[in-house]
Amino acid sequence: MRLAANLTYEGAGDLARAAERLGYAMVLAPEGYRSDAASVLGLVAGQTSTIALASGVMQIPGRPPGMAALTAATLDALSGGRFRLGLGVSNPDVSQGWYGVPFDAPLARTREYVEIVRRALTGDPVTFEG
């Protein structure tokens, strides 16, 4: 069985180092009311060396897909290839209330978003009509 630990920004480095020492496979940082995943995982990347890091999950309405790709590429580079990108559409209250993004067609939005992120991660120029 592979184990993972869920992080919050409070004590994230300590928990991640302990999980790594104990042989956990991964730590996950959520996005929510208190923190973003990228900041927490950037801290953890600098304080660990073997444990996998994952966004659990980055909220699609919270950042354009190009920025999500840039963030993922940076975290992957900082962690020596240990980063895993998790994405999610959030919910109508957060999407519309926090980010001003309509919560219509969440599956289609996710498909397009993932396609753009994948293209951007190749390093080639990205054009997309959707």
Kindly report the CATH number assigned to the domain that includes residue 92. 3.20.20.30
State how far the Cα of 11 lies from the Cα of 117, in Å rounded to an integer: 30
For residue 54, tell me if it sits in a domain: yes
For residue 130, tell me if it sits in a domain: no
Report pLDDT digits (tens) over 60-115: 999 999 999 999 999 999 999 999 999 999 999 999 999 999 999 999 999 999 99
Q: Is it the case that residue 130 has pLDDT exceeding 80?
A: no
Question: Which has the closest alpha carbon to 129: 115, 121, 61, 120?
Answer: 115
> Treating both helix axes as pointing N-terminal to C-terminal, what angle do 12-21 and 37-47 enclose, rounded to 10 degrees?
50
Task: Look up the domain containing 86 and give its range.
Answer: 4-121
Q: What is the pLDDT of residue 29?
A: 97
Domains held by the chain: number: 1
Residue 33 near residue 9 (C-beta atoms within 8 A): no
Angle at 73 between CA 71 and CA 75, to 5 degrees: 65
Q: What is the pLDDT of residue 123?
A: 87
HSE-CB for 75 with a 13 A CA cutoff:
26
Average pLDDT of 32-55? 95
Q: What is the pLDDT of residue 54?
A: 98
